Amino acid sequence: MLLHDKHPVSPADRQVLEAFVEQLIILPRRPLRSLKTLVAGLFAPYPLLASVNGLAGELQDTFNWLLGEQWDVVQIEHSYSFQPYEDALARKSQPFVLTEHNVESALGAATYDRLPRWSLPFIRYDQWRYARWERRVMRQAAQVVAVTQNDAHVLEKIAGKPVPVVVNGVDCDHFAAAHPDPSTCRVLFLGNYEYAPNVDAIEWALDEILPKVWARCADARMSVCGFGMPDSWRERWKDPRIEWQGFVPNLLDLQSSCSVSWRRCATAAAPSSRCSKPWPPACRWPAPNKACRGWTWWKAWTTSVGKTPTTWPMPWCACCNVLKPPPRWVRPAAPMCAAPMTGASPPANWSRCTPPSYR
């Protein structure tokens, strides 16, 4: 396993990874705000993301050395990480598998959200560069793999070949043991804050949604968890009802200590849109059609909160309805089931679940 990491790997993490592989090689990635990245981002033929994650001499040399051996499978994660491997793969005629977690040329917001408005011409230019780069990389791959069916349909047109779907793995049995605790009146937001749309979502939630929740549920608490949390947030939002937990190693305990979870939801029209949806914390839902397979669902909330015209535009109202349900609601007696689901959209096998009851 060859990793190009922007953060030092702890001895404990290294020990876990080394148990799965014969050899683990971890090379540091240069800082994002480096002169080399700046110059390459402006003038290189590669798109900005490929420049940020590429142009790494040590990584290129190490990969070339590894290809001196015979490999059954070479798997590359993400088209934006491909640049250091391209020459060695072509020179040795080594087939490889490319796993693409998004249609990066269409995602956009994750890369450009923090750029000023006057940089719009550069953004359009870089999106054009990424579309060309995407096609170039995928046409070289022996096999391109997507993680959702929707992405696969788009990637097939770019790659010019069939693209199978291998969904991200989830330990369903482990997380099925998570049960929301209504008595805590705690709202959970969990995300990686190095990802710009998550930052935009939590800032919007704290500035605009949470005050409306407190107006109806003054005792509600907000637990903000995840990797890469800026220290400045503690100074910006000083309300003691906001719990700044940062990285949490045990998600099961965390989810079981919360009443409801907020998730940033991407949409086809706007992948970074401010569309926060409340879900019981046993349902970890990073996006509507990604990584939602096999998690615990509570159909009562899906039907009564997330899918009605009156609450969909008002996440604060939906959240309050979960924290303090109106009298007409009857909560389901137990969580549904961790029904494994496949495919791009989330069709649930409700025949295996207990139907919700309503008054």
- The amino acid that residue 29 corresponds to is R
Mean pLDDT of the chain: 77
Q: What is the pLDDT of residues 138-152, one digit of tens each?
A: 999 999 999 999 999
* pLDDT more than 90, % of the chain: 40
Say if residue 297's pLDDT is above 70. no
Say if residue 339's pLDDT is above 80. no
Q: Between 204 and 175, whose confidence is greater?
A: 204
pLDDT (mean) for 211-215: 88
Q: What is the pLDDT of residues 251-289, one digit of tens each?
A: 888 888 888 887 766 543 334 334 444 444 444 333 333
Q: What is the pLDDT of residues 219-256, one digit of tens each?
A: 889 999 998 899 999 999 999 999 999 888 888 888 88
pLDDT of residue 109: 57
Q: Between 32 and 290, whose confidence is greater?
A: 32
pLDDT (mean) for 319-338: 54
pLDDT (mean) for 288-312: 36
pLDDT of residue 98: 97
pLDDT of residue 266: 52
pLDDT (mean) for 49-70: 94
Q: What is the pLDDT of residues 172-198, one digit of tens each?
A: 788 788 888 888 889 899 888 888 778
Q: What is the pLDDT of residues 98-157, one digit of tens each?
A: 999 989 888 765 667 777 889 889 989 999 999 999 999 999 999 999 999 999 999 999
pLDDT of residue 149: 92
Say if residue 216's pLDDT is above 50. yes
pLDDT of residue 108: 65
pLDDT of residue 169: 74
Q: How confident is the model at residue 292 (pLDDT cuts 50, 70, 90)?
A: very low
Q: Delimit the domains of the chain by residue range.
A: 2-159, 172-352
pLDDT (mean) for 161-167: 94
Q: Between 337 and 58, whose confidence is greater?
A: 58
Residues 185-194 as b/e (b if ≥16 CB within 10 A, e otherwise) read: bbbbbbbebe
